[in-house]
Each structure stands twice: as C-alpha cells, then as structure tokens.
Amino acid sequence: VPTLREVGELEAIRRLTAAWGEPAAARDTDPAGVRIGPGDDAAVLCPSPGCDLVATTDAFVENRHYLAEWFTPRELGARLAAACVSDIAAMGARPRWALHSLGVRPDHDVDALVELQRGIEVFVAGDGAVIVGGNIVAAGGLEWMSLTLLGEAGAGRAWTRSGARPGDWVAVTGWPGRAGAGLRLARSSGDEARRPGWQPLLDAWIRPQSRVSLARSLAATDAVHAAIDVSDGFAGDLMHLCKASGVGAELEAESLADPLLETAARTLGTSAEHLVFGPSDDYELVLAVDPAGREACEQVARDARIRLTFVGRFSGERAELVRRTPDGARQAFVMGGWDHFSAER
C-alpha cells in the first residue's frame, strides 16, 4: 500500500482530484454553480440570484474527535461532512460547495485518503453539493481534517437560534442521545459494543444522516421560528437556543423515552435521561415551532419518514430549563459545561 511519502505530494493531489474530472476549464454555466473548480489557485462559484450565502466549518483531530479504529476512512469523511451539513440544515439552508484540508502523517496510506475524500464527496452530493477545492499538508503528530461548507438560503430567510417565542413547541428530530451512547459503549465495552442490539446506537454515532431535505420542507411551512443542531447534546444545545432567543423551556421528559437508551444506560451505569439530554453529537435538529404550524410539521416529518417529537414548550422564563414529570411536578435542569449535567430539586 503506497504511503504519502512514497508517492509524493503532487501525485497524492492528482489521485485525490482524479475523481473530480477535468479541472479548470472555465464554464459559463454549471448545474453545480461552479465556474472554475479544483485545479486552479481558487474556485470561482456562482451563487444563485436572490440567495444569501451560508458558511460553516468544522475540524476533527485524531483521538479527540474520532476513534480511528471504529471508522473506515469513508465513514470518517462522511461524518466530517455530516457535521458541516448539519449546521447548514440548522439554518434551513442547502449546502452547495465544500473545501477540505488535511493534515496527515507522511506514512498515511494514500488509498485511505482517497476513500476519506470519497466519503465527504458522497455525503455532500446527497444534498447536491460538490467539493471545489482543498489542501493537504504534512503533520508531525496528530492528524486532523477540516471541512468548510458553503450553502444558500433565500435572502433573509435563513433560520437562526434567536427566533423562539414563549408558547412555541420545542421539537426535535430523531433519537437524541443515541450518538453519545454509541461512543460511550465503544469506549467502555470495546468489541462488546458491536453486538447487534447496539447497532442503532453505533450507527447514530458513526453514520449520522443529513437533515437538509427535512429542514427545507419544514422551512416551506413557515412554522419554524428558530433552530439549532445537536452537536453538544440535546439539553446543552436547547439551552444555547433559549439564551439566544431570551426564552426558557418546559419539557415533558418522558416524551423522549428511548428503550434502547434504557438498556444502554444500565450497561454504562448511568440513567437513560442523562443519555437523552447529556453530551451527544447527534446532528439532529432542535426546532421552535409555531403552535399553529405543528400539524404541518408533523405531516412533513411523516412524509420524510423521520421521527419528529414535540417535547414541550418554550416559556417566558429566560434561560430556565424545566422538566415536568407525569405527576405534574416541575424540576429544574441545571447544566454546566459540555460534559457536566445534573438534575436538581
């Protein structure tokens, strides 16, 4: 297997860009909105008329953001893409152009790099986006990879974190907490975690799905007042949204009961609720939904076959997160940093 050192930088770049076809021929029109693609000093892009440009970037560092032995190179590329695509989805936008940078050791297998890039390419292509450039450098220590993603939203139409109003529904897509549980099981149980029953948790962690198409259909209902994606954990990200909007939230904790997380919690020696609300990069969406638009949003989610759970309401009590138990009692959630989470009262 040839390494980066053996083939050299130029040949590595040639292999990485081979899949992109003939470079640099200036075009008047291109369905992907690319006038000049990879191969020149910079890409030249053609944003759609009447659209705002939406930009995000993310980076993974070896050992810190991924456990290499749990990911194929292609899955790793896809997961980096998923992290950026999720930010674009949380703006109600669609991704269009990606740029990625790699810092890799000279002994890195070149075919694995091509696979990694293929993972990014295929994931962003699912929402119609293309890679328009990149950069590769030699790293002495830990390897890292970074992706910048540009997208578009109708002028002035992008969702933000700051539009939630008291009385809006708090809604969340998918099964929050599963990605974090998958990661914890992989860390604590090693190969034990590969048993079939845990597969949905490992999938949530290793292979998160794009929510762009759902987000755009939800945006078309005009019912979404604010949004954020779950990259830290459901409660933590909901709190970011609450603070940005100047509101609080009252949740019915039982609405997110997840039988799989109940079982995982026993293995991990924690509570299912901690898994649901605590640290977990699920790349799901948390939404503030206008009460009048709830049914329309439910219909959109049913059509997309994606779980959308209405877990409570935003309140006027600024930055206060409260859970309501089945017997009607109100308990405050208290949270500190990313990995500190506890319930009080």
Binding site for Mg ion (CB under 5 A): 87, 229, 231
Question: What residue has token string 């040839």?
Answer: 2
DSSP conformation letters of 108-163:
SBHHHHHHHHHHHHHHHHTTT-EEEEEEEEE-SSS-EEEEEEEEEEETT----SS-
* Residue 87 or 282 having the CB closest to Mg ion: 87
As measured in angstroms, the least distance from the Cβ of 290 to Mg ion is 22
As measured in angstroms, the least distance from the Cβ of 187 to Mg ion is 23
Instruction: Name the DSSP class of 166.
Output: T
* Residue 121 or 229 having the CB closest to Mg ion: 229
* Residue 228 or 260 having the CB closest to Mg ion: 228
Residues paired with 227 in a beta bridge: 287
Residues 6+ apart with CB under 8 A from 328: none
* Residue 117 or 231 having the CB closest to Mg ion: 231
As measured in angstroms, the least distance from the Cβ of 135 to Mg ion is 24
As measured in angstroms, the least distance from the Cβ of 322 to Mg ion is 24
Q: Report the run of H or E that residue 238 belongs to, with start and end.
A: helix 234-245
Q: Can you tell me the distance from the alpha carbon of 284 to that of 239, in angstroms, rounded to the nearest whole number?
A: 15
As measured in angstroms, the least distance from the Cβ of 331 to Mg ion is 27
* Residue 73 or 92 having the CB closest to Mg ion: 92
Q: How far from 76 is each of 52, 95, 109, 116, 345, CA to CA, in Å?
A: 29, 19, 15, 6, 41
* Residue 53 or 343 having the CB closest to Mg ion: 53
Half-sphere exposure in the Cβ direction for 67 (13 Å, CA): 13
As measured in angstroms, the least distance from the Cβ of 90 to Mg ion is 5
Residues 6+ apart with CB under 8 A from 309: 171, 172, 255, 256
